[in-house]
Amino acid sequence: MSSYKNKYFLLAKIHNKFYNSLMWKLRNIIKKYPDFILNIENLSGYSNEIIGFIGPNGAGKTTTINILSGLLKPDSGEIEIFGKQTESDFDANIYNNIGYVGEKHGFFYELTIKKNLDIISSFYNNWDKYFEKTLIQELNIDVNKKIKDLSKGNLMKVALLCALSHKPDFLILDEPTSGLDPLIRDKVMKILIDYKNSKKCHIFFSSHIIEDFEDIADRLIFINEGKIITQFDKNEYYYTENKIENIKTIFESKTFYVITKDIFNSLSEEKKSLFSSISLKKLAVKILKDFEIERYN
């Protein structure tokens, strides 16, 4: 049975190497809390892609990530990872291929990083010791320190080390840059980009800091008040508030349009003048703000 599973994952890995295949899918997910409802109709991620998951505090980012990573059970809906339903067709082996970094960490706090790595690595059948050492050097981690003595940033680095060392095809990162100084943040971003390029893997990455996505996200997904507002590619930084006929809009709302850079370049100068270039940060603020206005109007 286990060799069958290994073959399955090997085939999946080879397939993912060459095609941008479906990695995960959330369908009709509902999670109710007394003061908050998460409602995701359809959301999916593909290999060789970094998704930036943007939303203000309390928007539902962590809840979505916890549902996706299997930490939280939704009230209803389907979760599919590597083509398997996590509820009806649960296979613990998929966690050999998933790396998770969350706001909470499952470490043994009284033990050293080295000891923690020894324990955690023993559960994975694909832990790469060489890659682990490389990451330790790159992230400048002192493995002889106890987990409880680490700062928030260093703890995040260790979490990232654990999430990457078994070379997963699917990385789930919940605000991985929080608590990191700018130098380490840049280093983490570089590691993530290099890892994605070498592995053709999928990274699902949440943050409320828009700058985190400027360089690395291939696709941006906006969430607010438990609902996915919109999603688009990272190059779509041109917008207009006027309705333009006969232009393929990637994202359309009642208040403004966003188009791709390619479409923008193909427009006539006259039409180009109707669009304004906008930074991702400003666009994100606009999206979140306008949707709020729309809802409360």
Partner 1 sequence: MKDIIKLIWITFENQMKSLILNFAIIVFFIIYFKSSMKSTEMFIFSMFFMILFIIPYNLVSRMVFYEDKNNILLLLKILPLSKKKISIFRISYVLSIYIIVTLLFAVGILLFRDVFTNSYLINLMILIFIDILTLLLPFVILLLTEYFEIMTVMQIARFIPLVLFVIIFIFNKLIKNVNPEIFNVSNAVLLFAIFFIVDIGLVFWIHFKFINRRKWY
Question: Cβ of residue 3: shortest distance to partner 1, in angstroms?
Answer: 16
Tokens 């403004």 -> residue: 256
User: CA separation (Å) from 244 to 247, 260, 275, 283?
Assistant: 6, 14, 10, 19
Question: Cβ of residue 54: shortest distance to partner 1, in angstroms?
Answer: 21
Stretch that binds partner 1, among 99-107, 135-143, 239-247, 277-285 (CB under 8 A): 99-107
Binding mask 139-178 for partner 1 (x = CB under 8 A): ----------------------------------------
Using rule CB under 8 A, residue 209 touches partner 1: no
| Spatial distance between the Cα atoms of 58 and 45, rounded to a whole number of angstroms | 22
Question: Cβ of residue 255: shortest distance to partner 1, in angstroms?
Answer: 35
Stretch that binds partner 1, among 26-34, 49-57, 211-219, 220-228 (CB under 8 A): 26-34
Question: Cβ of residue 190: shortest distance to partner 1, in angstroms?
Answer: 24
Using rule CB under 8 A, residue 16 touches partner 1: no
Q: Are residues 227 and 214 in contact, defined by beta-carbon separation less than 8 angstroms?
A: no
SS3 per-residue string spanning 218-250: CEEEEEECCEEEEEEECCCCEEECCCCCCCCCC
Which residue in 47, 48, 69, 154 binds partner 1 (CB under 8 A)?
69
- Alpha helices (runs of H) in 200-279, residue ranges in sequence order: 261-266, 269-272
Neighbours of 227 (CB within 10 A): 17
Which residue in 45, 102, 176, 226 binds partner 1 (CB under 8 A)?
102
Question: Cβ of residue 200: shortest distance to partner 1, in angstroms?
Answer: 22
Q: Are residues 237 and 261 in contact, defined by beta-carbon separation less than 8 angstroms?
A: yes
Tell me the torsion sign for CA atoms 258, 259, 265, 270. Answer: negative
Which residue in 20, 28, 42, 125 binds partner 1 (CB under 8 A)?
125
Using rule CB under 8 A, residue 9 touches partner 1: no
Question: Which of 197, 199, 170, 175 is CA-nearest to residue 185?
Answer: 175
Tokens 């983490």 -> residue: 188
Number of residues located near partner 1, criterion CB under 8 A: 33
Question: Which of 291, 129, 280 is CA-nearest to residue 218?
Answer: 280
Q: Is 270 exposed, middle or buried (0-12, 13-18, 19+ CB in 10 A)?
A: exposed
Which residue in 7, 11, 20, 33 binds partner 1 (CB under 8 A)?
33
Show contacts with partner 1 in window 77-96 (CB under 8 A): 90, 92-96
Provide the 8-state DSSP code for 177.
T
| Spatial distance between the Cα atoms of 294 and 255, rounded to a whole number of angstroms | 8
Using rule CB under 8 A, residue 73 touches partner 1: yes
Name which of 47 and 69 has its Cβ closer to partner 1.
69
Using rule CB under 8 A, residue 111 touches partner 1: yes
Which residue in 28, 123, 140, 149 binds partner 1 (CB under 8 A)?
123
| Spatial distance between the Cα atoms of 196 and 78, rounded to a whole number of angstroms | 26
Question: Which of 212, 223, 214 is CA-nearest to residue 291?
Answer: 223
Using rule CB under 8 A, residue 104 touches partner 1: yes
Stretch that binds partner 1, among 64-72, 176-184, 223-231, 255-263 (CB under 8 A): 64-72
Interacting residue ranges for partner 1, rule: CB under 8 A: 32-34, 66, 69-73, 90, 92-96, 98, 100, 102-111, 119-120, 122-125
